[in-house]
Amino acid sequence: MKFDKKYFKEELDKYFGEKDDAIKEKIASLKDDFKITTLSLIIYDCAVLIEHLAGDVANVSKEKRDAIVEFLDESIELNWVLEKFDGFVIGKAVDEIIDLLNTAHGKEWAGKVRSIL
């Protein structure tokens, strides 16, 4: 199995696109009422799923991050003005959320997530 951005993005699309109505509702709510707290919760859910999928595979951090950014950038519909900047904002938010998780729980938080799931 190839753990690249395409694989991770397809899994995010499959899981959150088909199975998780709560995430779909959160994403849809951003169109009318963009809140960074809602975006942060969505990013956290995506990161947990990606870490679960990646298992102990090393050296795929960039692929995981880029898959989350691309998935959210394509999923979140905003007005035309905000659409021009949302990829940048989503990328920064993903970086910050992952940094917070690493700071709060150490770089091993992903292993803790996998042991729970």
Res 20: pLDDT: 64
Q: Measured in Å, how far apart are the chain's first and last C-alpha atoms? A: 20
Q: Pick out the chain residues at pLDDT < 50.
A: none
The reported pLDDT for the residue numbered 59 is 67
Nearest C-alpha neighbor of 39 from the set 84, 96, 116: 96
**What are the tens digits of pLDDT across the range 58-70?**
667 888 889 999 9
